[in-house]
Each structure stands twice: as structure tokens, then as C-alpha cells.
Amino acid sequence: MQVLILNGPNLDVLARRDPKLYGGLSLNELESRIYGWAHALDITARCRQTNSEGEFIEWIHDAYTNVDAVIVNPGAWSHYSWANRDALELLDVPLVEVHLSDIEHREEWRRFSGVADIASHRVIGRVPHDYHEALRYPAGTVDA
């Protein structure tokens, strides 16, 4: 099983963000954990991160034919990017939305996710285990 993990803006500076909200790991440390969890689930994972919305959308377009599932943490784009939502909506594979912080209990503007209604599964505020559960969903080891 091929799973693409897409991380949006500011995840590259994850270690600098509030550890109470984001877990205190660097992106490299988080990706190492993701690859370990994926290996244990017999999943081939590919992690990608960008601060460029156009590049993010291109990666989504590439996923239309190359993967069995997509895990996406659109970061702040979740709250306002209809372009990302439009691209993700065209996926015909499971889509798992991840947020390291508990967006449903933060600032009012963070509580809306344009991806929520098209996601097959959502994992929010369970740092850093969000990605473990997210990987377990397409592997069939967690319920929706």
C-alpha cells in the first residue's frame, strides 16, 4: 500500500512551535516516526512538506493515480484554501485529515476546516500520534 503524507505551511519549523500544542518534535523526528509506523503496518509512505500552496496542489494532482491513500495536514490552509479543498475533493482514495493541535478548541478562525466534510477520517490534537492513527485508517486497523 502506497500512502502519501502531505504537510503544509510552517510544519518545516515544527520544533520552534509551541510544544504544548504541537508536540515538540522537529519535522525530521516526526517523519522518522511516521516511516517506522508505516513499516510496521507494511505501508510504503512518502512524506512531503511545503510552504508553497501551488506545489502542494501539484502533489495532490500527482496523487490522483499514484497512491492508495492520502494523509494531509494542510495547516493554516485548512481554514481558508478552497483551491486545496477542490484538489483534494477529486481524490478517489481514502483521505485522512490530520492536525497536531486541537483546532476545535483553539481560536475561532481555526475551528473551521474546509477539508473536514471530504475527509474519510480525521485525527485532531493527538500529537504526535495523530499520524499513527492516520496510517492505521487506510491499513484497516482503526475504525472511522
Given the C-alpha cell 516511516, which residue does it identify? 35
CA distance 74 to 84: 8
Q: Which of 64, 80, 99, 131 is catalytic?
A: 99
Whether 22 is catalytic? yes
Whether 137 is catalytic? no
Going across the sheet that includes 69-73, the strands are 44-49, 2-7, 69-73, 95-99, 121-124
Q: Which of 22, 121, 131, 132 is catalytic?
A: 22
Beta strand residue intervals within the chain, DSSP E:
2-7, 44-49, 69-73, 95-99, 121-124
Contacts of 86 (CB under 8 A, 6+ apart): none
Active site residues: 22, 99
